[in-house]
């Protein structure tokens, strides 16, 4: 019996070490699976928490108005859906697609860049398809970052920039982006020893969460900085076609030297209301595009071809819808910003994105104000700390609900919260 116990103890030790679980004594013993360190280092995803919070409130009978998640409420254009319907019926599209994307889809991306920004791209070598730009943003870190490497990440910024880097074992260096600097990183403030260690840098304009924009001088400075320190720029341009008051956001790739030092991520999600379709691209430096495509060929099998045809139709077809929906977002923006300013804020209207970034009132943190408006008014806003330490004291609101609901949210603010002091 003693020998048997010794054998069981030895087996438990081996299985715990190599397979990540531990046996508990007792009649109803359970296995304990031990998470990998990379998962333990990863914070809970912000919007997963928000979705859970909304579901709990609605289950309790609360009429929740969500200004929290930037998911367009406007429909995908019918001409795009018609192409999907047609191509979904074609048996040739029911097989595995190319992991880097059909050449015709990548050609549509290249044609769109030339029309929209005057940028010439080789669709065969300078464009790769993605399962939405979020997937590519997360995976680019796997291509270029080793454990212990440094990546420059804007703070506040989209959480996936740091999340992908953490999963790759890298260490984010957070670049403060503040109102005083127009929410642009100050490259001169980055310590030279950090810049020399850095391998990648994420940028994002028009910006989520702040709605800020960048000009030619900023992009040229970023390109010079990247060239000086041999840093790969990864520019997230998801909101380049959500703009107001005649403003036309530029592409990072339109500036001299951009393709030497970086790539740009984009998708049809926000431009054509196709967030659930999960299709985007990365474009620019051909070596980086090839590396990302090589990684993807090992971990996914590409985007359903019918969806690629539909996305190409969006990029190539009539663009009047983009202007029309921007008029809708602009009206919503004006209602929200004017309404908040009547309650005590002093906000400027953002030129782009469908977000409004605002400071929390006196006596409140980002979290306490978000909790207050949810509990008292049934309105969801996103606390700024979900985007980084420098988001502290701010919150974000999305313009992706009908203007009448935005007006109702403002009325609830007035009723339950009243005039705000700063």
Is residue 166 situated within a structural domain? yes
Is residue 40 situated within a structural domain? no
Are 133 and 156 a contacting pair, CB within 8 Å?
A: no
**42/39 Cα distance (integer angstroms):** 5
Are 153 and 216 members of one domain? yes
Whole-angstrom Cα Rg for the chain? 24
pLDDT at 122 over 60: yes
Are 83 and 71 members of one domain? no
pLDDT digit string (tens) for 62-96?
899 999 989 999 999 999 999 999 999 999 999 99
Domain that includes residue 325, residue range: 46-75+320-416
pLDDT digit string (tens) for 214-237?
999 999 999 999 999 999 999 999
Are 277 and 207 members of one domain? yes
Are 105 and 182 members of one domain? yes
Are 223 and 142 members of one domain? yes
Q: What is the pLDDT of residue 15?
A: 46
Are 368 and 400 members of one domain? yes
Is residue 125 situated within a structural domain? yes
Q: What is the pLDDT of residue 24?
A: 56
pLDDT digit string (tens) for 3-47?
545 544 654 554 455 545 555 555 566 788 888 888 888 777 666
Per-residue tokens: 45: 């995803």
Are 62 and 100 members of one domain? no
Q: What is the pLDDT of residue 341?
A: 96
Looking at every residue in the chain, the average pLDDT score rounds to 92
* Mean pLDDT of the 345-370 span: 95
Are 327 and 289 members of one domain? no
Least confident of 35-44, 209-218, 361-370, 386-395: 35-44
- CATH code, domain carrying 210: 3.40.640.10
Are 68 and 82 members of one domain? no
Q: What is the pLDDT of residue 22?
A: 55
pLDDT digit string (tens) for 329-345?
999 999 999 999 999 99
Is residue 360 situated within a structural domain? yes
Q: What is the pLDDT of residue 422?
A: 66
**106/102 Cα distance (integer angstroms):** 6
Q: What is the pLDDT of residue 27?
A: 58
Domain boundary among 301, 316, 331: 316
pLDDT at 152 over 90: yes
> How many separate domains does the chain show?
3
pLDDT at 379 over 50: yes
Is residue 57 situated within a structural domain? yes
Give the list of residues 6+ apart from residue 241 with CB closer than 8 angstroms, or none.
116, 249, 270, 271, 322, 326
Are 279 and 302 members of one domain? yes
Are 86 and 320 a contacting pair, CB within 8 Å?
A: no
Are 127 and 233 members of one domain? yes
Are 326 and 312 members of one domain? no
With vertex at residue 24, the alpha carbon angle to CA 23 and CA 25, rounded to the nearest 5 degrees, is 120
pLDDT at 359 over 90: yes
* Mean pLDDT of the 348-356 span: 98
Q: What is the pLDDT of residue 195?
A: 98
Is residue 422 situated within a structural domain? no
pTM summary value: 0.90
DSSP letter (8 states) at residue 252:
G
pLDDT digit string (tens) for 233-279?
999 999 999 999 999 999 999 999 999 999 999 999 999 999 999 99
- CATH code, domain carrying 71: 3.90.1150.10
Per-residue tokens: 119: 């940028």
């Amino acid at each position: 019996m003693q020998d048997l116990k010794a054998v069981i103890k030895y087996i438990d030790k081996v299985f715990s070490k190599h397979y990540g679980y531990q046996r508990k004594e007792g009649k109803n013993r359970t296995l304990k699976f031990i998470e990998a360190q990379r998962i333990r280092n990863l914070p809970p995803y912000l919007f997963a928490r928000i979705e859970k919070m909304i579901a709990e409130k609605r289950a309790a009978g609360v009429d929740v108005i969500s200004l929290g998640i930037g998911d367009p409420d406007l429909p995908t254009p019918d001409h795009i859906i018609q192409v999907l319907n047609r191509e979904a019926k074609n048996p040739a599209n029911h097989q595995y697609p190319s992991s880097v994307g059909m050449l015709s889809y990548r050609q549509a991306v290249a044609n769109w860049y030339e029309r929209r920004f005057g940028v010439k791209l080789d669709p065969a070598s300078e464009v790769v398809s993605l399962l939405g730009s979020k997937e590519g943003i997360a995976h680019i870190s796997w291509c270029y970052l080793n454990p212990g490497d440094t990546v420059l990440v804007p703070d506040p910024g989209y959480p996936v920039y740091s999340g992908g880097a953490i999963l790759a074992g890298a260490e984010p260096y957070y670049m403060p982006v503040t109102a005083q600097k127009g929410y642009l990183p100050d490259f001169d403030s980055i310590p030279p020893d950090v810049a020399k260690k850095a391998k990648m840098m994420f940028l994002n304009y028009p910006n989520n969460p702040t709605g800020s924009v960048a000009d030619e001088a900023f992009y040229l400075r970023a390109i010079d900085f990247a060239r000086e320190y041999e840093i790969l720029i990864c520019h997230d341009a998801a909101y380049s076609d959500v703009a107001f008051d005649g403003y036309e956001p530029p592409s990072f790739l339109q500036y001299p030297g951009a393709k030497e030092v970086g790539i740009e991520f984009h998708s049809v999600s926000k431009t054509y209301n196709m967030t659930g379709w999960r299709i985007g691209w990365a474009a620019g430096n051909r070596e980086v595009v090839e590396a990302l495509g090589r990684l993807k060929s090992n971990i996914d099998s590409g985007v359903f071809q019918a969806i690629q045809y539909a996305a190409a139709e969006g990029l190539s077809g009539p663009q009047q819808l983009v202007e029309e929906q921007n008029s809708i977002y602009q009206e919503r923006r004006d209602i929200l910003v004017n309404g908040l300013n009547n309650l005590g804020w002093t906000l400027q209207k953002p030129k782009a994105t469908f977000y409004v970034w605002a400071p929390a009132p006196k006596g409140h943190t980002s979290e306490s104000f978000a909790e207050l408006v949810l509990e008292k008014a049934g309105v969801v806003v996103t606390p700024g700390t979900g985007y980084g330490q420098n988001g502290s004291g701010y919150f974000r609101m999305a313009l992706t609900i009908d203007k009448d609901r935005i007006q109702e949210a403002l009325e609830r603010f007035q009723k339950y919260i009243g005039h705000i002091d700063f």
